[in-house]
Amino acid sequence: MSLYGIGIDVVEVDRIKSSLSEFGEQFLDRIFTEEEQAYCERQKNKELSYAARFAAKEAIAKAFGTGIGKSVGWRELEVLRMDSGEPKILLHGKAAELAQSLHVSEVKISLTHAKHYAAANAVILVEK
């Protein structure tokens, strides 16, 4: 395996909280899958979980070198949680097609959050 790309993103939790208040389900349905929403809604401070997932999606798009747009959509990058607690990425649609065309073998992410900020790192590995 070799490194294809890395990405990082930091999100202000208040920005996500504001979008949740102002746009509600419209915001959620545009950015997050149903499973992501179900997970975040079960959390004590749901805006922290949403912010971390938002940051992860941005970090992955940066690692692909595409940003969010034509090649990779928000809901095509799904951030799930394994039983171990480790975050896991599922790629859908155009993001999955892009990964296949690049021979992506793995997408690894790390999430963190504090009271005011959430951050994520992403690493994309490809087969040689």
Active site residue 116: no
Distance from chain centroid for Cα 24: 19
Out of 17, 70, 92, 113, pick the active-site residue.
113
Q: Give CA angle at 102 (101, 105), nearest 5°.
A: 110
What's the token pair of residue 80? 């799930």
Question: What's the Cα-to-Cα distance from 6 to each of 40, 48, 120, rounded to whole Å?
Answer: 25, 23, 11
Q: Give CA angle at 108 (123, 14), nearest 5°.
A: 85
Active site residue 70: no
Position 98, amino acid: L
Out of 44, 57, 62, 70, pick the active-site residue.
62
Please name every residue paired with 30 in a beta bridge, in sequence order, or none if there are none: none
Active site residues: 62, 113
